[in-house]
Every structure is written in structure tokens, then in C-alpha cells.
């Protein structure tokens, strides 16, 4: 099969669907180029003096890894001069990052988790970059956090890069999900999987089992039934995976099905789960739904949630739609 580049794919998508105007194409290509740079930094490891912690904390109160900060800087610097953005927001920054006045502003807003899966950085396990694109509200003046408070259904594009044995970029602009592999010799993103589809059924679940005693009853019931296997009500055995890197777990699910869960639990009832809505759950939910899967917070579609805070957290159940329906049904039962 003749392979095409990310650029050719975007140009053809624009011709087909007229939904990727030049500014959005530029944005996607700039983000993709930034992910190449991040992949290069990540790949150096100890040789690049980029491992370990940075002795600082982010807004989440998490100790920042050096590569968290490096990746954040790479995305900020790559995107601020192009004229395609009005503002950015990042897991690593407390407040939004307006485009400096020395540069023209555009009509898009970019949100990202620059390097997700930080606990895996120093042990050479796959990590990734997650990004989400919103349109700036009509007539917006100086961007504020309130301008970012849009439901996930308003995203115009979303994607992630996964830095694993291969470096891959998964992208949706609302017309299916496509995957590009980084050709390191040429330095280009090459289309390697078109229109990815998540199987509706699965026998593989992903959750951090060490939290089991803290789960609410619907999650406990659902997982115990999976664990009971062919001796229980499901009548079949299930397998388990947990990489503790959302990008890697989601990429596996996109390729072979599965259900990924990070529920709220009883440890801190004020904290509805660990994952953040705006730059983790929303982009992943957009991608998963575009691939025929489902994504809920246990009660409603993640993409329907009206956000109130930039860094708000949300419970996440996503992947093979038949399994997401079962665990969501237990919450509603
Ligand atoms: P735990 C990584 O820190 C992350 O945000 C997600 O990528 C991952 O799915 C989850 O947290 C892992 O959390 O509690 O299992 O370490």
C-alpha cells in the first residue's frame, strides 16, 4: 500500500470533508512536530540528562518530572508564534497561557497533558502526549479560563502521541480515527492505520486493582463479576492489563478492544477520580467514540459534561461499548 504523510492525509481530508481549514491543519502539524521533538527528548533518557524529578510541584500537587516541564515548554514554544491559537492550557500550568501580544492570535484553543504517565518515565515504560482542540468563542476578547469551559462535544480535533517501541500519533477531526507512525529516518509521520475501530465486545479490562477496597458498589460488582470468570454471571474468563499510562492503555484498546476504568472512590469523596476532564478524558472520549467505542463517567457521556474548572477531575469508563454499557448500567441501577 502506498503510504501517505500526515500532511497529505490532512489535505485530502480537507478536500473530502471541508472540515480542516488551513489554520486547523497548521495547528495539527505544529503539534505533531512538537510530539516528534518530545519523542526525541524522551528517547535520550539518562543520556540527555532528562530523567528524574524537577524538585517542583504542578497545580495537581504532583512532583514534576524534568520531562514533564521539557515537554510542556516544547508545546508552548512550538505553538505560540503560528497565529493559529488564541490561548493554550496544560496540566502542568495552573492558569491558561494566552498567546503573547507580539504574535497574532487565531481562532483555536489548545489543551494538553504534555507527558502523561509520568510515573513510567524513569522505568522506560510507554508514555504519551494528549491534546484537545476547541474553537475560541465568537467575539472573545482577552482569553480567560471561562472561554475554555466547553463540553467535550465541542472539540474540533483531539489526539495523542504514544512514545513506545514505535512513536505513533493517533488523531481524529470528527471523521474517524487514524494512526500515523513516526519514520525516524525521514522525520515524517506516515499513515499506517486508517479508520480504527474498537470491537464492541472484549474480554480484557484495565483498572488499578490495588484500589479495590475503596471502590463504590457498582464498580466493585462489575469487577468482581469479571474476576468470577466462567464460574460467575458473565460465564466467561477475562484478562487484565494496567500500564498506569492512560495513553498506552487507550492505544491497546483502540487496537484490540478492552475497557479502561479510573473510577471515583471512597478515599476522597471530594475528588471524583484521578483523571482530568479537559485534557485527558475529553480528548480520549472523542477518539474512543469516533472509533465506535463509548466513554462515560459512570452516569453520562463524558463528552456531554459541562465543565466548571480547568483542572477538574472525572471518573472514566471507556472502550468497548458493550462493556461500558454494563458498568454504566450498574451505576444507574
Ligand atoms: P495510578 C498517569 O499518572 C495517569 O494520569 C494516567 O495516565 C494513568 O492511567 C493513571 O494516572 C495511573 O494512575 O493510580 O494507577 O498510578
What confidence score (pLDDT) does residue 295 get?
Answer: 98
For 321-332, letters b (16+ CB in 10 Å) and e give bebbebbbebbe
Cα(112)–Cα(92) distance, integer angstroms: 9
Q: How confident is the model at residue 50 (pLDDT cuts 50, 70, 90)?
A: confident
- Mean pLDDT for the stretch of residues 66-72: 93
Fold type of domain 204-332 = D-Maltodextrin-Binding Protein; domain 2 (3.40.190)
- Mean pLDDT for the stretch of residues 174-181: 97
- Mean pLDDT for the stretch of residues 180-185: 97
Ligand 1 pocket check for 119: Cβ under 6 Å: yes
List the grid coordinates of 325.
Answer: 454499557
pLDDT at 61 over 80: no
Full DSSP string of 125-181? --EEEEEEEEEPPTT--S--HHHH---GGG-SEEEEEEESSSEEEEEESSS-EEEEE
pTM: 0.97
3-state DSSP helix/strand/coil % of the chain, to nearest 5: 40, 25, 35
Count of beta carbons in the 10 Å neighbourhood of residue 216: 16
Residue 68: name the closest of 120, 134, 29 by CA.
120
Q: Map grid coordinates 458498589 to a residue.
A: 217
Residue nearest atom 13 in ligand 1 by C-alpha distance: 244
Q: Any known ligand binding at 117? A: yes
Cα(150)–Cα(140) distance, integer angstroms: 14
Q: How confident is the model at residue 333 (pLDDT cuts 50, 70, 90)?
A: confident
Cα(160)–Cα(176) distance, integer angstroms: 14
In residues, how long is the chain? 333
What confidence score (pLDDT) does residue 65 get?
Answer: 85
Ligand 1 pocket check for 92: Cβ under 6 Å: no
What confidence score (pLDDT) does residue 225 get?
Answer: 98
Q: What is the pLDDT of residues 231-273, one digit of tens each?
A: 999 999 999 999 999 999 999 999 999 999 999 999 998 899 9
Q: How confident is the model at residue 1 (pLDDT cuts 50, 70, 90)?
A: low
List the grid coordinates of 7.
Answer: 500532511
Residue 31: name the closest of 109, 99, 104 by CA.
109
The percentage of the chain sitting over the pLDDT mark of 70, rounded to a whole number, equals 100
To test the pocket of ligand 1, the residue of 53, 63, 92, 116 to mutate (highest count of ligand atoms within 8 Å of its CB) is 116
pLDDT at 102 over 90: yes
To test the pocket of ligand 1, the residue of 67, 119, 127, 214 to mutate (highest count of ligand atoms within 8 Å of its CB) is 119
- Decide yes or no: CATH 2.40.50.140 for domain 6-193: no
CB distance 135 to 114 below 8 Å: no
Ligand 1 pocket check for 252: Cβ under 6 Å: no
- Mean pLDDT for the stretch of residues 145-174: 98
pLDDT at 56 over 90: no
Cα(126)–Cα(280) distance, integer angstroms: 16
Q: Any known ligand binding at 280? A: yes
Q: Any known ligand binding at 90? A: no
Q: What is the pLDDT of residues 190-236, one digit of tens each?
A: 999 999 999 999 999 999 999 999 999 999 999 999 999 999 999 99
- Mean pLDDT for the stretch of residues 155-165: 98
The percentage of the chain sitting over the pLDDT mark of 90, rounded to a whole number, equals 89
Taking the CA of residue 116 as reference, the ligand 1 atom at the shortest distance is 7
Backbone phi, psi, residue 65, to 5°? -85, 155
pLDDT at 166 over 90: yes
Ligand 1 pocket check for 59: Cβ under 6 Å: no
Question: Mean of the per-residue pLDDT values for the chain?
Answer: 95
Domain ranges of the chain: 6-193, 204-332
- Mean pLDDT for the stretch of residues 159-179: 97
Q: How confident is the model at residue 58 (pLDDT cuts 50, 70, 90)?
A: confident
Cα(131)–Cα(72) distance, integer angstroms: 12
Amino acid at each position: 500500500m502506498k503510504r501517505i504523510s500526515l500532511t497529505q492525509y490532512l489535505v485530502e481530508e480537507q478536500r473530502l470533508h471541508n472540515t480542516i481549514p488551513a489554520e486547523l491543519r497548521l495547528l495539527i502539524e505544529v503539534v505533531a512536530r512538537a510530539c516528534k521533538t518530545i519523542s526525541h527528548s524522551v528517547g535520550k533518557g539518562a543520556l540527555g540528562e532528562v530523567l528524574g524529578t524537577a524538585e517542583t510541584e504542578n497545580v495537581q500537587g504532583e512532583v514534576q518530572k524534568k520531562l514533564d516541564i521539557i515537554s510542556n515548554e516544547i508545546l508552548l514554544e512550538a505553538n505560540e508564534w503560528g497565529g493559529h491559537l488564541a490561548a493554550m492550557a496544560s496540566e502542568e500550568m495552573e492558569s491558561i497561557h494566552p498567546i503573547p501580544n507580539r504574535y497574532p492570535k487565531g481562532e483555536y484553543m489548545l489543551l494538553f497533558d504534555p507527558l502523561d504517565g509520568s510515573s513510567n518515565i524513569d522505568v522506560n515504560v510507554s508514555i504519551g502526549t494528549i491534546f484537545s482542540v476547541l474553537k475560541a468563542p465568537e467575539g472573545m476578547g482577552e482569553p480567560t479560563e471561562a472561554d475554555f469551559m466547553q463540553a467535550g462535544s465541542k472539540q474540533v480535533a483531539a489526539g495523542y502521541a504514544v512514545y513506545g517501541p514505535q512513536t505513533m500519533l493517533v488523531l481524529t477531526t470528527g471523521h474517524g480515527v487514524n494512526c500515523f507512525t513516526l519514520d525516524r529516518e525521514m522525520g515524517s509521520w506516515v499513515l499506517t492505520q486508517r479508520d480504527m475501530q474498537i470491537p464492541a465486545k472484549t474480554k480484557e479490562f484495565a483498572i488499578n486493582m490495588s484500589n479495590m477496597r475503596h471502590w463504590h458498589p457498582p464498580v466493585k460488582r462489575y469487577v468482581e463479576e469479571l474476576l468470577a470468570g466462567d464460574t460467575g454471571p458473565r460465564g466467561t474468563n477475562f484478562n487484565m492489563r494496567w500500564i498506569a499510562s492512560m495513553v498506552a492503555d487507550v492505544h491497546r484498546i483502540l487496537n484490540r478492544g478492552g475497557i479502561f476504568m479510573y473510577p471515583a472512590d471512597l478515599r476522597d469523596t471530594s475528588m471524583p477520580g484521578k483523571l482530568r476532564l479537559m485534557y485527558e478524558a475529553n480528548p480520549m472520549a472523542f477518539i474512543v467514540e469516533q472509533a465506535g467505542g463509548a466513554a462515560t463517567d459512570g452516569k453520562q457521556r463524558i463528552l456531554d459534561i459541562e465543565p466548571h474548572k480547568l483542572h477538574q477531575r472525572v471518573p472514566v469508563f471507556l472502550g468497548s461499548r458493550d462493556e461500558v454499557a454494563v458498568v454504566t448500567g450498574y451505576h444507574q441501577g
